[in-house]
Amino acid sequence: MSVLSLRAQRYVQCGGVVVAVLAVLASVALILRPARDADYHFGTLLTDPASAHTEAGSGVQVAHLEVRWDRFEPQDDLFDTAYVSTLKSTLGAFKKAGMEVEAGITIHSPPMWLQERPEAAFVDQYGDRFSGAPNVVFSQSVRLEVQEYIDRFAQELELDSFWAIRIGVSETGEFSYPPASVEEGRKNSFWAFDTRAQGAPGTADRPPAIPPNPLPGWGPGERTAGGGTVTRADVAAWFDWYHHALAQAVNWQIGHYKALGYQGRIKILLPGTGIRPYEYEEVIDSHLDGSALPDLAGRGVGYFRSLAAIHDNHNIEIVSTSLVDGSGEPRDNGCSPSDQEHLLLDPSRSDIIHNWSSVRWIANLARYYGFAMNGESAGPQVQPYYDGVMNDAAHQMTSCGLGGLMWAFDKNLYDGTPGSSLKEYAEVIEQLT
């Protein structure tokens, strides 16, 4: 699935919980903000190589190259040399124009031969399967197939050719589980019900870094399991395990790229607001029964929990993919120096953070956990663009301390989309560089 279809998804908004000691530590950690590069960078998503020279001349420094796995390896261990040649040619065109190149080596475009394998699909509590993104969370054999794909890509195009690499898990290439099942109008899908996710310690094919399910056999909303009562603490432990398993799949990707010697930026993409602390508690209070955030809870987007489980922040950038998405009150608000004074992880501060825009929340979380930050516009299919939209995105970028902006999408610089022309982008870039 392309980045274009990624942005066509409803941006993720949900909420969160925290223990008291973390809430106390938040105010201290926020003071330790990482330094940002002196210069901003600007790019586009799904960059057209035919426009590279024109855009570079207008100050656009970063091109995005999307790589589809289903085209790269249409049959198991058989690689499409013509497609690889096209990728090399496109990379060359960007480099010739003097642009840095950001690669989306998509694992969320799995080839059919992998989708047909039973272990490759996520399974929810209803027994519904999702194969639009490979199950790299709970299947070690699927991870090995992904590694072979990445390794072959690295042989063909050399990872050092790329200024940045994008990683993720979901069908949109972002930091989440798949969307809620749409079968029979169902919602509230949690994707941890395949045999590997449910299995006992030592279950074959489960990645060794994924701990055993703390409530095997239990389903969201159930008040009993194994003849005993399921307490709120039990539900909280399961929900944390669910988030940490997702984060471990991201840790594995980071580790593999670095093991291959890649030293550039690695971008983790976070859509929308995610689950904020007070909302996280509401979800747990409900025993995950779907009465709170039924469309989103199962996506594992409690970023304030999952970012804590990312082990490495060296050259890792957290990217808010929801600039100018219309969120917040006032709409699309930016960050404020006073944000660091708030206890982000304290559920009682909902009166403060409830009206923050998506990027404002994500930027403050990223700073709290010591990550560098970047941003992308949400795209006109999420929230229609308008005159002045690029200036609003630039305000969010600068006020929130983001290192740059990737504009969604390259084609929207030329198709008459309001507020999204190359001329307007060049004017914003000139003002900030």
pLDDT tens digits, one per residue of 70-120: 999 999 999 999 999 999 999 999 999 999 999 999 999 999 999 999 999
Q: What is the pTM of this model?
A: 0.91
pLDDT per position as a tens digit, 28-55: 333 333 334 448 999 999 999 999 999 9
Alpha-carbon distance values, 229 to 55, 188, 212, 218 (Å): 61, 22, 20, 11
CB within 8 Å of 157: residues ≥ 6 apart: 84, 87, 88, 91
Confidence (pLDDT) at 19: 36
The beta strands (E) that lie in 141-180 are given as 164-167
Confidence (pLDDT) at 391: 98
Alpha-carbon distance values, 430 to 377, 423, 433 (Å): 18, 11, 5
Separation of CA 191 from chain center? 17
How does residue 25 score in pLDDT terms, banded at 50, 70 and 90? very low
Whole-number Å distance between alpha carbons of 190 and 299: 7
Residue 166: phi and psi, rounded to 5, are -95, 135
CB within 8 Å of 376: residues ≥ 6 apart: 45, 269, 319, 320, 321, 322, 323, 405, 406, 407, 408
Residue 404: phi and psi, rounded to 5, are 175, -170
Q: What is the mean pLDDT of residues 423-429?
A: 98
My answer on whether omega of the bond before 271 falls inside 30° of 0, hence cis, is no
Which tokens belong to 317? 């950038």
Confidence (pLDDT) at 351: 87
**Contact in structure between 226 and 214 (CB atoms under 8 Å):** no
Confidence (pLDDT) at 341: 67
Sign of CA dihedral 363, 368, 373, 376: negative
Task: Indicate the pairing of strand 265-270 with strand 316-323.
Answer: parallel
Separation of CA 362 from chain center? 11
CB within 8 Å of 125: residues ≥ 6 apart: 189, 190, 193, 219, 220
| Residue with the larger pLDDT of the pair 17 and 373 | 373
Alpha helices in 168-321 (DSSP H): 195-198, 232-259, 277-285, 303-306
Residue that the structure tokens 């938040």 belong to: 26
Residue 8 has pLDDT above 60, yes or no: no
| pLDDT > 70: percent of the chain | 91
